[in-house]
Structure 1
Amino acid sequence: MAALEAHDARIKEEKKMFNTLIDLLSYEKIIFNDLQMKPYRTDEYVHKLFYETARFTAFNQQWVVKARINNSQRDPHQSNERTITYQLILKTKTTTPMSIHFFALKGPFSDMKVSTQIYKHEFTEQSSESDYYILPLPDSSECNRLLSNKGINFRLLMFLLNK
């Protein structure tokens, strides 16, 4: 019985996500970019691995996507459970708030196995970086497979909410 309830809850959550996606597709301003995150290391004494895209343009603004492994855990190589979190960063100054819905998915140059999870952030002069959000990969082995590549290719969909 518990398995049926869990299955029903998952189906209900998926239906809610698809309804949200259908609503987002009715927005006037929608854009997608095929991006590649490349690995970099911090300049700290103990180097930390992070990933970052080159700047790209969307909605007449400059953006960057930055990702980190296991939320910048001190020794991620000692963990067998790995996750990737990412954030969207607005690089140009804005005078008006921008409400952006965004999510990452498999692009034409990628073989990433990722689920759809839609995130939202209000970009303002004071808040030009979104929170770090989980890249919903099926398991830790998929994360390890992505990290073994020279870069992580993905497609980023962005929706601008007109106020």
Structure 2
Amino acid sequence: MCAGCFTHLLADARLKDEQASCPGCRTDISRGNCSRNLAVEKAVSELPANCQYCSCQYPRSKLEKHKTEECQDRLTNCKYRRIGCQWRGPFHEHKEHEQDCCHPKKSGADITEALDVIDLKHKEELELFNHIFNLLSFEKIGFADIQLRPYRTDEFITRLYYESPRFTVLNQTWVVKARINNNDREPNLTVHRQISYQIILKSKVNTSIDMNFLVMKGPYDDVKLEAAVKRFQFSSDSLETDYYEFPLVTAAECNKLLAARNINLRIFMFQVQK
């Protein structure tokens, strides 16, 4: 069983509150009782597999290089993509297309729109970088490594949710909660899964606290998260943030989180001074 299928099985079992089992022999499986079989991996790597582009057979160990570097039918983009060309086709046709591509012959005014899209994306990335850089100059900064543990609701059809133990940052006590697909009753029936989180202030406060926070993966974790800074003003009447989606790079990362025993996170908090 490949790593992706193994992770998906564990994630489905977590969502259904069941013990994961092998689809072949029905033996119970978990991260604790399964290990890589290097001998089988080596044997499988020599078995033939079809290229998804040209349908030719190659040993699995060489298939990836063939698909990315050698296959004449692999999909490729026009080299003038940056100035607006949307062509995408087989590699063996790209030279002929590029010779006839109309985009190099366009005027500067015609390609401005495509360049504006690239500039906008770069501007957003730069603004995020500068925002985080400025937050690091705040006087009051704190962070904590937390574990979100899985629990079940008391409803007839239970729902999975996660909650962290209480932790202290900047002399305040906090809790983080998380839910799956916005509390959808049967998230196991869809491949489009997402986890959203909420930060709750447990301390009593007399004045409002304006807080920026940044959630990152925990130490030794391999889940891929993008940077996303959120801001919320806590007060005695507003102790819970809205739910924010984890900025996962791909949907497969959600299965990694669900398959793990706990979700390990590192949360940074930056208090805005009045």
The TM-score, its normalising length taken from structure 1, stands at 0.95
Larger relative contact order (Cα-Cα within 8 Å, sequence gap ≥ 6): 1
Q: How does 1:23-62 map to 2 (within 5 A)?
A: 23-62=134-173
Residue in structure 2 matching 1:97, options 194, 205, 208:
208
1:11 aligned to 122, 127, 141, which one?
122
Distance 1:92 1:37 in 2: 19
Q: CA deviation at 1:8?
A: 2.7
Structure 1 SS opposite 2:179: strand
State the 1:100 CA deviation: 0.6
TM-score by length of 2: 0.57
Asked if structure 2 preserves the Cα contact closer than 8 Å seen for 1:109 and 1:153, the reply is no
Q: RMSD over aligned Cα, in angstroms?
A: 1.3
Q: 2:257 matched to 1:156?
A: no
Residues 80 and 98 of structure 1, relative CA distance in 2, 3 Å threshold = same
CA gap 1:52/1:14 in 2 versus in 1, 3 angstroms: same
Q: How far has the Cα of 1:88 moved from its partner?
A: 0.7
> Which of these residues, 117, 123, 139, is aligned with residue 228 of structure 2?
117
> Whole-Å Cα distance in 2 between the matches of residues 8 and 74 of structure 1?
41
Deviation for aligned residue 1:7: 3.3
Aligned letter for 1:154?
A: L
User: 5+ residue gaps in structure 1?
Assistant: none
Give how far 1:4 is off: 4.7
Structure holding more helix per residue: 2
Deviations along 1:77-121, one digit per CA (max 9) or x if unpaired, are 111101111111001111110001001112323222100000000
Q: Is the 8 A contact 1:112 1:154 kept in 2?
A: no
**Structure (1 or 2) with the greater strand fraction:** 1
Which one of 219, 229, 251 corresponds to residue 108 of structure 1? 219
Distance in 1 between residues matched to 2:194 and 2:247, nearest whole Å:
8
Post-superposition offset of 1:9 = 2.2
